[in-house]
Structure 1
Amino acid sequence: MVNMSKAVSKKDLVSWLKKHNQGMSLNKLEEVIDIFFSEIATALVCGDRVELRGFGSMVVRKRGEKVARNPKTNQKIEVGNKGSLYFRPSKELVKQLNKSANDN
């Protein structure tokens, strides 16, 4: 299992996969991970929903224009349309997280 006491990097994922898959080289595993995340990013940019069973789903929600305020100068600033990434964990992941929290 990947060390969860810190942020998990791509390097951590590649080394974990290498331990559990002796048939592929590190370069090939890194390429697979790059393609995987690239496809997720492309789908989100295109407005598609990404669903990973047992993990969760991601979608970009559009946020409309609004008027914000600069806290230093109190000047009003118009903020244009934005996209915001929304992640919804699966029921299985929520159960695992709650079990882990109760064990500690």
Structure 2
Amino acid sequence: MSEDETGTLTRADLADVVHLKLGLSRAESASLVERVLYHMCNSLSDGQNVKISGFGSFVLRDKGERIGRNPKTGVEVPIAPRRVMTFRASQIMRDKIAG
């Protein structure tokens, strides 16, 4: 598996791992990765959280309107309500990252 110079794991890297580990063709591996990401994106856009056992959870939160401040001028400005996505790593993932 190759990572680009920023150390980022890409779709192509994931497809390569699927190809090597499962023996699918490169095209089938890329298609599988794309389908998984597509279903994750659709679920999130439909308002559903996504949980991957042993990896983590992608959770949607609604943030209410609040007052922010322009750091350059100090002027207060309203920040519109919005929906944000957060990721919470599973305990298994946190243990692996911690070493």
* Shorter-chain TM-score above 0.5: yes
Partner amino acid, structure 2, of 1:77:
V
Instruction: Give, in angstroms, the shift of residue 44 of structure 1.
Output: 1.2
Instruction: Give, in angstroms, the shift of residue 74 of structure 1.
Output: 2.3
Partner amino acid, structure 1, of 2:68:
A
**Number of equivalenced pairs:** 97
**1:93 aligned partner:** 93
Quote the Cα distance in structure 2 between the aligned partners of 1:19 and 1:75. 55
Contact 1:47 1:59 survives alignment (8 Å): no
Partner amino acid, structure 1, of 2:35:
I
Quote the Cα distance in structure 1 between the aligned partners of 2:32 and 2:75. 48
CA-atom RMSD in angstroms = 1.9
**1:54 aligned partner:** 54
Partner amino acid, structure 1, of 2:9:
V
Question: Which ranges of structure 2 fall in alignment gaps of 5 or more residues?
Answer: none
Quote the Cα distance in structure 2 between the aligned partners of 1:36 and 1:82. 26
**2:79 aligned partner:** 79
Task: Give the SS at the match of 1:67.
Answer: strand
**2:37 aligned partner:** 37
Partner amino acid, structure 2, of 1:51:
K
Q: Confirm whether residue 9 of structure 1 aligns to residue 29 of structure 2.
A: no
Quote the Cα distance in structure 2 between the aligned partners of 1:95 and 1:57. 16
Quote the Cα distance in structure 2 between the aligned partners of 1:52 and 1:73. 43
Misfit runs of 4+, over 4 Å: 2-5
Contact 1:66 1:80 survives alignment (8 Å): yes
Quote the Cα distance in structure 1 between the aligned partners of 2:55 and 2:35. 19
User: What is the TM-score when the length of structure 1 is the normalising length?
Assistant: 0.80
User: What is the TM-score when the length of structure 2 is the normalising length?
Assistant: 0.84
Quote the Cα distance in structure 2 between the aligned partners of 1:93 and 1:71. 36
Quote the Cα distance in structure 1 between the aligned partners of 2:44 and 2:55. 16
Instruction: Give, in angstroms, the shift of residue 3 of structure 1.
Output: 5.7
